[in-house]
Chain A
Amino acid sequence: MLHSLTQVVIVGGGTAGWLTAARIAAYHKCQQANAKVQVTLIESSDVPPVGVGEGTWPTMRATLQAVGISETEFLRECDASFKQGAKFAKWTTGAEGDFYYHPLMLPQGFPKFDLTPYWQQANDDGMDISYSNAVCFQEALCEQGLAPKLITTAEFSHVANYAYHLDAGKFASLLKKHSINKLGVRHIVDHVVKVNNSVSGDIATLTTKAHGEIAGDLFVDCTGFQSLLLGQHYQVPFVDQSDVLFIDNALALHVPYQSADEDIVSHTVSTAQSAGWIWDIGLPSRRGVGHVYSSKHTNEQAAADELYQYVEKLNPAAVKDFNYRKIPIQSGHRQRFWHNNCVAVGLAAGFLEPLEASAIVLVELSATMIAEQLPHNRSNMDIVAKRFNQTFQYRWARIIDFLKLHYVLTKRQDSQFWRDNQDLSSCPQELVDLLSLWSTRAPADYDFTSNNEVFPAASYLYVLYGMGFKTDFSQSDYLHQQAQQAAHLFQRNQQMIKQSCQQLPKNRELLNKIAQYGLNKI
């Protein structure tokens, strides 16, 4: 980069492409006349991808603010709803009524005071309350279909912490409109037919069908599963993770509501099946439902039958027209994500089953790091690339650990899929070690010390104790003698459940009001 203007060329116009374009362009003030960075996005067609319902993390609120999209506009245009965590049904025993929550708020007192040993003691003594219900007020809100805020709460502020469910196709369209009109992103609709290297091995230009050669300093590969630049051009190997995470197929469809005033569920519902699980994501206009399964443990027909039964329970009328889309998936990621002057974001970098909504958050994290650490010259790019690769290798590994945790803790014996998942040889060593430590103490912040962590200790607490994991605290009894303070925190949580359930409106009611009146910025 000897010239003063840095050219960032993004290939691919899905959620990953437009989110990355928006984040870089907003950060580098590309709409200004004297901008030092120019962002160009090339997409092969103007047709937005068909969106299945998708979940985000609460990080999306900061991302929307960073790119300058109002929450009201986002909710209205993306058919978006509020998400307060995930409910995992039938993951532990498979019985009716077997479920636990992974909410989006820290346990009461955490991390200063860990209620876990006191909760376990109380349960051993016969008190029958789930971990998340004992330490967090959000499960109660979810169970009652309540919203995480009020119509008087400002945009992006909350009463209970939240993320979103959204239509990914509509989200990409909104980001595209915003990036082009407000953020100064250059948009080219064309097919990339050839990738041209310079002598150094960097990508110099992309040859397009109608726009000739497009030159750039940094190329961002957002081409989805085809991984055009990183995978096909640079042949960076794919690290297969299917020996850890067995899911390799998805069957997805939209399910209409039975009536216009049916609850919009404010959490992702994930219901375990015989060889996989079904996601259920409530958007204002419809549900997005899908079955991800392992083809080594079941076949498409059997998986479709389970999906049919699930949909029939949601809405008997919906199965009259039972058509799903089959999406083959491969769990894993590229060995490196940034190679020479090319970095992959989104599906081009890798894919994991949507159990903890890690897809969009990885795009946000990647886009943020590229935007904030965009190198000012070519020699620094190799250093940034190395750091980017270390960061994201760590993040993908931790996400894989956390996803596997949901499987390895199951007590289900009803199918080979669940029995295979309990085999510790399918478990990454890092996770095996942690589970060993947690057999005599609870997860804590000091187990997760990198500043690149994705899941905090609290997430591990919710999954472990939600799934009936037993920690033997007997060796550390003397450390847990503050029963009075624990009782106070448990009581406080019950008060917060009562108060928030009285105060908060139904999720659908709030979304209807936002459609009508909008939320204020303050």
Chain B
Amino acid sequence: MIEFSSEQTPNLVALNPAEHRELRLLQDKIEQHAAAQHLVPAMFSEYVRLAVCYPIVISKNEQTGQFATSVLLGLEKNENLFWQDKQWQAVYVPMQVRRQPFFVGQEPSVDEPGKTKYVLCIDENSPALSFDQGEALFDENGEQTEVFKQSYQVISDILKDEPITQDFVQSLVELDLIEPMSLDIVLDNQQKLQINGLYTISNERLSMLKATELAMLNDKGYLGACFAIAHSVAQIYALIQKKNQSIADNLG
């Protein structure tokens, strides 16, 4: 039995233009970060695009027990079936993968004591960072390059998206729209997989919402997202097919 829940323990180092001036980004290595992740957080603004490729699922954060949305990339722990032949095999890659190797951290604010401010961090062990290969992040004058600005844009989009995503999930909780999903899968080779700890949006509960509740979801722009998530569950069939294919390929 596999218990699924999201976990993230990034190891952060604040980006320091003086110290990291020579740093270069290997753009083709960015997606490798998620090569062994079965769940990647999904952001509100990308649900519709994600739903075209992946099952969007809801799981509990192991540390807080709180619900969060993610895309399901594999059927076993540390399995990403979209990472094949050292490439990401999907037309749309989640923001939380594209932002690699950058993170946003928080540190105590110097200007406003008691408050925290955001700081841009990097993963120093990232395969996508190098001192001699790839695209420069800063030019000879220490100014940010276009490559850096692109990555920075993804991070700032995520930052803007975060409170909306949280509020969206909170609305789902308050309206009792979340239901557990238990997957009992039999693969082509007769191997059985049971996956617990995943949740989705209940179609039944959605259809029972009162007019005022529907209007609230609609006003906030959450209604489409609800259906995108509820419908994306069917992508699990595609994921099972990928799993069967990957087993067959390995045998061949």
Binding site for B on A (CB under 8 A): 150-153, 513, 516-522
Contacts and interface: CB of A to CB of B under 8 A. Distances in A.
Nearest to B3: A152
B199 interface: yes
A516 B179 CA distance: 23
Interface stretch (B16-24, B62-70, B81-89, B128-136): B62-70
Contact of A521 (B5, B63, B66, B176): B176
B197 interface: yes
B185 interface: no
A520 B5 contact: no
B173 interface: yes
Interface in B56-77: 60-67
Contacts of A517: 64-66
Contact of B173 (A151, A152, A520): A520
A517 B197 CA distance: 18
Nearest to A150: B65
B178 interface: yes
Nearest to B173: A520
Interface residues of B, number: 16
Nearest to B63: A151
A522 B63 contact: no
B178 A513 contact: no
Nearest to B199: A522
Contacts of A516: 64
A516 B63 CA distance: 11
Contacts of A520: 60, 65-67, 173
B180 A522 contact: yes
A233 to B, nearest CB: 47
B179 A152 contact: no
Contacts, number: 33
A386 to B, nearest CB: 43
A513 B62 CA distance: 11
Given A513-B65, A520-B65, A522-B199, A152 B60 contact: yes
Contacts of A519: 65
Given A521-B176, A522-B179, A522-B199, A513 B66 contact: no
Please indicate which of the listed interface residues A152, A513, A519 has the most CB atoms of chain B within 10 Å of its own CB. A152
Contacts of A152: 5, 60-62, 65, 197
Interface in B160-209: 173, 176, 178-180, 197, 199
Nearest to B176: A521
Contacts of A153: 65
11 contacts: A151-B63, A152-B5, A152-B62, A513-B64, A516-B64, A517-B64, A517-B66, A518-B65, A520-B65, A520-B173, A521-B173
Given A513-B64, A517-B66, 15 more contacts: A150-B65, A151-B62, A151-B65, A152-B5, A152-B61, A153-B65, A513-B63, A513-B65, A516-B64, A517-B65, A518-B65, A519-B65, A520-B65, A521-B173, A522-B178
Given A520-B173, A522-B180, A151 B64 contact: yes
A389 to B, nearest CB: 42
A404 to B, nearest CB: 43
Nearest to A153: B65
B116 to A, nearest CB: 17
Nearest to A516: B64
Contacts of B62: 151-152
A521 B63 CA distance: 17
A151 B197 CA distance: 13
Contacts of A513: 63-65
Please indicate which of the listed interface residues B61, B65, B176 has the most CB atoms of chain A within 10 Å of its own CB. B65
A191 to B, nearest CB: 42
A150 B178 CA distance: 19
A513 B178 CA distance: 22
The list of the 9 closest CB pairs from A to B, nearest first, reads A151-B65, A152-B60, A517-B64, A152-B65, A517-B66, A517-B65, A522-B180, A152-B5, A520-B65
Contacts of B67: 520
B162 to A, nearest CB: 17
A26 to B, nearest CB: 19
A38 to B, nearest CB: 28
Contacts of B180: 522
B204 to A, nearest CB: 14
A516 B64 CA distance: 9
Nearest to B197: A152
Contacts of B199: 522
Interface string B136-148: 0000000000000
A257 B66 CA distance: 29
A519 B61 CA distance: 12
B50 to A, nearest CB: 23
Please indicate which of the listed interface residues A150, A153, A516, A522 has the most CB atoms of chain B within 10 Å of its own CB. A522
Contacts of A522: 178-180, 199
Contacts of A151: 60, 62-65
Contacts of A150: 65
Interface in B100-143: none
B68 to A, nearest CB: 12
A152 B180 CA distance: 12
A384 to B, nearest CB: 36
A305 B199 CA distance: 56
A151 B65 CA distance: 5
Contacts of B65: 150-153, 513, 517-520
A521 B66 CA distance: 11
A522 B172 CA distance: 12
A518 B65 CA distance: 8
A513 B197 CA distance: 19
Contacts of B64: 151, 513, 516-517
Nearest to B61: A152
A511 to B, nearest CB: 13
A251 B5 CA distance: 48
Nearest to B60: A152
A322 B62 CA distance: 42
A513 to B, nearest CB: 7
A155 to B, nearest CB: 10
A147 to B, nearest CB: 12
Nearest to B178: A522
Contacts of B178: 522
A204 B60 CA distance: 55
A152 B59 CA distance: 9
A519 B60 CA distance: 10
Nearest to B66: A517
A492 B134 CA distance: 55
